[in-house]
């Protein structure tokens, strides 16, 4: 028997170290005594006697002389994408795809995704299925956070727009204009900080919800918060490091041209900075679920994401871009009617829009905020779900995580030969 029992093709003889009594056909006393068995051109009599009846072939890996045992938890970790594990093709639940699919059942699916490498449609469908099946956990998290963020943003914008209107007054002096613009920039920074903080909280809690949905387990809002809270500060640190790195990278590439007043250097710096931001953004796109689900440190999460994305950058880039476009169009379709309502009903006409006085009343601010609350309630879990499922998919492809997930879901005999 060779060292790879799952890869012998049906009807072939053992490749390495035949059992006693099968040495090259020199010892074949049983051939005349079994007329009901058809003669095999390449195998010994004992191998031929153990062949299954015609029409009952199972997948490679189900050779009768080598019963498989349950793999250990570390089996398959570090496995390259598309490399099946020994004995897994003859498992009770099967493993679609790859060589040898004779009569195999579909892969086990304890939760929202099947336990095998996922396609684009399965990742998107898994995110939507989680939102639909576990809406009692997903909806309160996103709705509450989005509402809090938009309420704070509306209050801050009210005073920010007052300052903009005051700064636009032709009678205002230079000092007053600079003070107004400074307060405006400060208010904008506060809004961005609140929105970023809300996104981090939603991401942390939804990661836990989606991780349980993969196993077919229910989550509660309190349970998701309890599991996410220990890693929340680290997730904030990870997000701040990403933002700081982007700013420092831009400063290194653009500032030399800006300080020397060289337009060519500025343009060159921007042309280098943007592709680097995209490349690094995809490379570290799985750091957040790695940090939350592996309970790792910030820098270990960066390293894990880089390892998981390696050699699959373009695939993850394409899925991320498609997810972003879907989220953008959904948000635009939801927010646009509320913005139109704000312009027509609360802005006070074109004259009020020209001098800015029609933008700072409560109606003009609240109407778009309601649209944003609805849009974020739908879009945030969708984007978070795709990121988590991409992380799970990459670990299944590279590390055999499907075995761990099957055991965590309580599936018996997963990864062992059936029959």
pLDDT in tens, 232-258: 999 999 999 999 999 999 999 999 888
How confident is the model over 262-285, as a mean pLDDT? Answer: 93
Rounded distance between C-alpha atoms, residue 97 and residue 94, angstroms:
10
Q: CA 167, 197, 238, 244: dihedral to nearest 10 degrees? A: 0
Name the one residue in this structure whose structure tokens are 């890693």: 231
Distance of CA 92 to the CA centre of its chain: 27
281 Cβ contact partners less than 8 Å away, ≥ 6 residues apart: 242
DSSP assignment of 253-271 equals HHHHHHHTT-HHHHHHHHH
* 14-72 residue pLDDT tens: 333 333 343 444 444 444 444 444 444 444 444 344 444 443 333 334 444 444 444 44
Tens digit of pLDDT for each residue in 110-125? Answer: 999 999 999 999 999 9
412 confidence band (pLDDT: 50, 70, 90): confident
pLDDT in tens, 298-320: 999 999 999 999 999 999 999 99
Answer yes or no: pTM beyond 0.75.
Answer: no
pLDDT for res 81: 39
């Amino acid at each position: 028997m060779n060292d790879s029992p799952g890869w012998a093709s049906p009807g072939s003889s053992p490749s390495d170290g035949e059992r006693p009594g099968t040495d090259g056909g020199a010892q074949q006393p049983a051939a005349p005594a079994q007329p009901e068995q058809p003669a095999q051109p390449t195998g010994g009599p004992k191998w031929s006697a153990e062949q299954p009846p015609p029409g009952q072939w199972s997948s490679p890996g189900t050779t009768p002389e080598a019963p498989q045992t349950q793999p250990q938890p570390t089996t398959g970790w570090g496995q390259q994408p598309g490399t099946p594990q020994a004995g897994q093709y003859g498992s009770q639940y099967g493993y679609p795809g790859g060589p040898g699919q004779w009569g195999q059942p579909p892969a086990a699916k304890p939760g929202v995704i099947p336990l095998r490498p996922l396609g684009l449609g399965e990742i998107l469908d898994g995110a939507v299925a989680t939102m639909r099946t576990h809406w009692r956990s997903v909806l309160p998290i996103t709705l509450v956070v989005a509402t809090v963020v938009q309420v704070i943003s509306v209050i801050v914008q009210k005073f920010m727009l007052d300052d903009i209107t005051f700064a636009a007054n032709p009678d205002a002096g230079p000092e007053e204009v600079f003070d107004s613009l400074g307060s405006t920039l400060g208010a904008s920074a506060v809004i961005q900080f609140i929105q970023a903080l809300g996104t981090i909280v939603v991401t942390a809690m939804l990661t836990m919800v989606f991780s349980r949905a993969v196993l077919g387990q229910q989550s509660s809002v309190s349970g998701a918060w309890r599991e996410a809270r220990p890693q929340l500060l680290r997730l904030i640190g990870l997000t701040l490091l990403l933002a700081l790195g982007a700013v420092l990278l831009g400063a290194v590439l653009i500032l030399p041209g800006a300080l020397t007043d060289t337009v060519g250097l500025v343009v060159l710096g921007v042309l280098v900075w943007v592709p680097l931001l995209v490349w690094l953004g995809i490379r570290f796109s799985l750091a957040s679920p790695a940090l939350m689900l592996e309970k790792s440190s910030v820098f270990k999460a960066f390293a894990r994401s880089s390892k998981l994305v390696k050699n699959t950058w373009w695939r993850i880039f394409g899925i991320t871009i498609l997810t972003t476009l879907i989220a953008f169009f959904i948000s635009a379709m939801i927010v646009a009617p509320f913005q139109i309502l704000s312009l027509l009903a609360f802005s006070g006409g074109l004259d009020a829009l020209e001098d800015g006085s029609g933008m700072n009343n409560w109606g003009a601010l609240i109407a778009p905020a309601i649209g944003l609350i609805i849009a974020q309630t739908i879009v945030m879990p969708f984007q978070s779900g795709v990121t988590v499922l991409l992380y799970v998919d990459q670990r299944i492809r590279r590390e055999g995580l499907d075995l761990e997930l099957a055991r965590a879901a309580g599936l018996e005999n997963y990864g062992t030969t059936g029959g």
